[in-house]
Amino acid sequence: MEKLMLHGHATSPNPLKIAIALQYLQIPYQVKIWEFGDDPRRGVKGEDFASISPNGRVPALQDPNTGVLVWESGAIMNYLKRQYDKNGILGPKNPKPQDQADLEQWEYLLLTTLGPMTGQLVWFTYYNVQRNEDARERYKKQVYRCYDVLEGQLERSEGNSILSSGITSVDCHYEPWIRPAEFIGVELSTYPRIQKWLSFMAEQQAVIDAYQSIKDATALQDPEAAKRGLKPDESLLHEIGLEAA
What residues does 31 pair with on adjacent strands? Answer: 6
User: How many chain residues bind ligand GSH (CB under 6 A)?
Assistant: 15
CA-based nearest residue to 25, from 77, 74, 63: 77
Question: Going residue by residue from 79 to 118, which x/- string records binding to ligand GSH, judged by CB under 6 A?
Answer: --------------------------------x-------
- Count of C-beta atoms within a 10 Å radius of residue 170: 25
Rank residues 101 and 236 by Cβ distance to ligand GSH and give the closer one: 236
36 binds ligand GSH (CB under 6 A): yes
Select from 71-79, 96-104, 121-129, 138-146 the region that touches ligand GSH (CB under 6 A): 71-79
Residue 183 φ then ψ, to 5°: -60, -30
CA-based nearest residue to 23, from 85, 75, 82, 68: 85
45 binds ligand GSH (CB under 6 A): yes
Instruction: Report CA torsion sign: 26, 110, 231, 127.
Output: positive
177 binds ligand GSH (CB under 6 A): no
Residue of 19, 20, 44, 170 that binds ligand GSH (CB under 6 A): 44
Rank residues 44 and 210 by Cβ distance to ligand GSH and give the closer one: 44
201 to 58, 67, 132, 175: CA distances (angstroms): 23, 32, 34, 7
Instruction: Report CA torsion sign: 201, 150, 74, 79.
Output: positive
Q: Note the Cα 100 to chain centre separation in Å.
A: 22
12 binds ligand GSH (CB under 6 A): yes
Select from 50-58, 87-95, 155-163, 178-186 the region that touches ligand GSH (CB under 6 A): 50-58
Rank residues 57 and 193 by Cβ distance to ligand GSH and give the closer one: 57
- Give contact residues for ligand GSH (rule: CB under 6 A): 9, 12-14, 36, 44-45, 56-59, 72-74, 111
